Amino acid sequence: MASIFREGLLTGKVAFVTGGGSGIGQAIAERFAGHGARVTIAGRKQERLDAAAHAMREKGGTVATAAIDVRDYAAVAEALQHTSEEYGPIDIVVCAAAGNFPAPATGMSANGFKSVIDIDLLGTFNTCRAAYEHLRKPGASVLSISAAHATQPIALQSHVCAAKAGVEMLMKTLALEWGPSGVRLNCLTPGPTDDTEGMRRLAPTVEIRDAVERSVPLRRFGTKEELADMALYLSSDAAGYITGGVFACDGGSSLVRSGSLGGAMFPTAVAR
Ligand code: NAP
Ligand code: COA
């Protein structure tokens, strides 16, 4: 679907998107590139990044790749340095890299818990911390992709709930610290988003998918394109006075009570 925004909203801008090789991060990077930004997409798998970059270049985008693990500060710093040398000061950072698997705390090793905390929370810190010196100041925007997990406890998701709560608080704290430099930081909270790895992991069966759909006040999954449009707005100068916020694009899911996976995570209390 074409973007609803006027063309070239990000012309001349430079963006760095972690998790930009797939799913929601890829859709956001593609939207940015389509609006004229020069974009670096970062993730661990070079093949995946190449495929995503190829698709964006086919549509006329200017896209570079960085095969890095966001848990590795030096690698993240090097990729950001390279982006700013190649493209100029960085106007937009998106932290979309994340990990998830459903498991009870008793079915998770300390390393399993740590792996998600390290990707989601430490990885977001690493990206923000290393980006700071390369950001255009004033004017830059940092957007982290959060989840309802940040405020709603969800069984089998202790690691993600803890990590995303940390991500939201980190963004708010940095919004205070970096506001005087003219850097904005916000969170975007997707609801259940169709055709994503996240949903393939959390809603793997038709039954769970149906339960999810029934639970969303708008009675459908969100699309990656809807999230990309919201990310475009929040990352653009049009949102120049917006910082420290958490914005949901979730069909109203956040209005529904907390729960657990397996159908009850997205409760079916309201009949279709
Ligand atoms: P996804 O396609 O699996 O996106 C995660 C991305 O992060 C992948 O491109 C992955 O690429 C990258 N990544 C993972 N670990 C990394 C690491 N250590 N270093 C660098 N990159 C790493 O899943 P998605 O569902 O689109 O999720 C994207 C974001 O949306 C996540 O922050 C997720 O929490 C959030 N979210 C999703 C939903 C949903 O319905 N899908 C709902 C709420 C929130 P590599 O494997 O190549 O590294
Ligand atoms: N249940 C319980 N523990 C699990 C698990 C599961 N389903 N999957 C992985 N783990 C544990 C592993 O056993 C390991 O712990 P151990 O060393 O004590 O055995 C730990 O998690 C790390 O696993 P590993 O595969 O080495 O980690 P990784 O850093 O390569 O990958 C993950 C990180 C586990 C989060 C992996 O699922 C991933 O790469 N995810 C990215 C994509 C994704 O999750 N997308 C959805 C985003 S919402």
Question: Which residue intervals of 72-122 are DSSP H helices?
Answer: 73-87, 110-116
Q: Residue 215's Cα: distance from chain center in Å?
A: 23
Instruction: Indicate the domain borders of the chain.
Output: 14-255
Q: Which residues are catalytic?
A: 146, 164
- Rounded to 10 deg, the angle between the 23-34 and 224-235 helix axes is 50
How many A from CA of 151 to the centre of ligand 2? Answer: 23
Residue 73: predicted pLDDT: 99
- The atom of ligand 2 lying closest to the CA of 112 is 21
> Contact 71/116 with Cβ under 8 angstroms?
no
Residue 246: predicted pLDDT: 98
Q: Is 156 in the pocket of ligand 2 (CB under 6 A)?
A: no
Ligand nearest to the CA of 22: 1
DSSP per position, 1-14: ---SSPTTTTTT-E
Residue 38: predicted pLDDT: 98
Q: Which of the 8 DSSP states describes residue 111?
A: H
Residues 9-48: tens digit of each pLDDT: 999 999 999 999 999 999 999 999 999 999 999 999 999 9
Peptide linkage before 138 cis (omega within 30 of 0) = yes
Among 197, 246, 249, which residue has the most ligand 1 atoms within 8 Å of its CB, making it the best to mutate? 197
Q: State pTM to two decimals.
A: 0.96
Tell me which of 177-181, 205-209, 253-257 is least confident: 253-257
- The atom of ligand 2 lying closest to the CA of 109 is 18
> Contact 240/187 with Cβ under 8 angstroms?
no
Task: Tell me the β-bridge partners of 186.
Answer: 143
Q: How confident is the model at residue 1 (pLDDT cuts 50, 70, 90)?
A: low
Nearest by Cα to 43 from 22, 13, 12, 73: 22
Q: How confident is the model at residue 2 (pLDDT cuts 50, 70, 90)?
A: low
Per DSSP, the chain holds a count of helices (H) and strands (E) of 9, 9
Among 115, 156, 193, which residue has the most ligand 2 atoms within 8 Å of its CB, making it the best to mutate? 115
- Rounded to 10 deg, the angle between the 123-131 and 158-178 helix axes is 20
Residue 147: predicted pLDDT: 98
Mean pLDDT value of segment 153-173: 97
Top-confidence residue, 2 or 123: 123
DSSP per position, 198-218: HHHHHS-SHHHHHHHHHHSTT
Ligand 2 atom 6, closest CA = 101
Peptide linkage before 192 cis (omega within 30 of 0) = no
**Is residue 137 within a helix (H) or strand (E), and if so which, with residue range?**
none
Residues 204-236: tens digit of each pLDDT: 999 999 999 999 999 999 999 999 999 999 999
Determine the 3-state secondary structure of 94 from DSSP.
strand
Distances (CA, A) of 272 to 218, 219, 268: 10, 8, 9
Residue 263: predicted pLDDT: 47
CATH topology of domain 14-255: Rossmann fold (3.40.50)
Mean pLDDT over all residues of the chain? 94
Q: Is 128 exposed, middle or buried (0-12, 13-18, 19+ CB in 10 A)?
A: buried
Is residue 260 over pLDDT 80?
A: no
Is residue 268 over pLDDT 80?
A: no
C-alpha–C-alpha distance, residues 88 and 14, integer Å:
7
Residue 65: predicted pLDDT: 98
Q: Is 183 exposed, middle or buried (0-12, 13-18, 19+ CB in 10 A)?
A: buried
Is residue 267 over pLDDT 90?
A: no
pLDDT > 90: what percent of the chain? Answer: 90
How many A from CA of 96 to the centre of ligand 1? Answer: 6
Is residue 266 over pLDDT 70?
A: no
Q: How confident is the model at residue 199 (pLDDT cuts 50, 70, 90)?
A: very high
Pocket of ligand 1 (CB under 6 A): 18-19, 21-25, 43-45, 48, 69-71, 96-99, 119, 123, 145, 147, 190, 192-193, 196-199
Q: Which residue in this structure is represented by tokens 């997707």?
A: 190
